[in-house]
Amino acid sequence: MANAAVFDVDGTLVDSNHLHVTSWWEAFRQAGHLVASRDIHRALGLRSGDLIAHLLGEDRVPEQDARISAAHKTLYATYYDRLAAISHAGDLLRTLAGRGWRIVLATSAGGDELSALRRAIGADEVIAGTASADDVPYGKPAPEPVRRALELAGCPASQAIFVGDSVWDMQAGIRAGAGCVGVLSGGLPREDLEEAGAQAVYRDTADLLAHLDDSLFAALERGRVTPGAAAEAPADRGRD
């Protein structure tokens, strides 16, 4: 049975987090809320409804949620044709597929947004499936998105590694029982990802590709690591 390589998309494979921050900031402003960009950035990776609740809290007017979410979606859509993959993201997916890994995406994006992201990555020929926001009842940090991705890959968590850029990604991967690799391309510090469960952290997909042979992926190929168990990760914990 093949191993499963599960990837988050925004901030991990596509350089889009700054565009999301800008779009969310303006969506909140239009609804009368001034939310710090730093706080929005740290909330990225949550589904829209969860992100709004996380940032505005229980005292918000819930009736505004749908309008804020729709405004963000409209604003972000103006960037679709300018989305760019992070360095060597597509090459990393193709290399892993060539080594026998089943490639699956696990993302809070769906619909036209997901289509635009996949176009930016440019590696559809090796992507076996996508667990999107439309497919699961709960988003990250709940394990459902990763579990759904593993179902699509036809692999147990013991044969899977999840790569993401957010604390929510790491928490979801750990809860699903998969190995977790963090990347700094989303803008969060290494310490945050490690504290959330990352077994190794790399600068970006290009860095991970360059060091693939001494990564968690290679360790799992050799049967020398148990996904989800940080104590059994390779001694090399990645590069800045």
Domains defined along the chain, listed by start: 4-15+84-232 (3.40.50.1000), 17-78 (1.10.150)
- HEC secondary structure over the chain: CCCEEEECCECCCECCHHHHHHHHHHHHHHCCCCCCHHHHHHHECECHHHHHHHHHCCCCCHHHHHHHHHHHHHHHHCCHHHCCECCCHHHHHHHHHHCCCEEEEECCCCHHHHHHHHHHHCCHHHEEEEECCCCCCCCCCCCHHHHHHHHHHCCCHHHEEEEECCHHHHHHHHHHCCEEEEEHHHCCCHHHHHHCCCCEEECCHHHHHHCHHHCHHHHHHCCCCCCCCHHHCCCCCCCC
Per-residue pLDDT tens, the chain, 240 aa: give them: 689 999 999 999 999 999 999 999 999 999 999 999 999 999 999 999 999 999 999 889 999 999 999 999 999 999 999 999 999 999 999 999 999 999 999 998 888 999 999 999 999 999 999 998 778 899 999 999 999 999 999 999 999 999 999 999 999 999 999 999 999 999 999 999 999 999 999 999 999 999 999 999 999 999 866 566 443 333 333 444
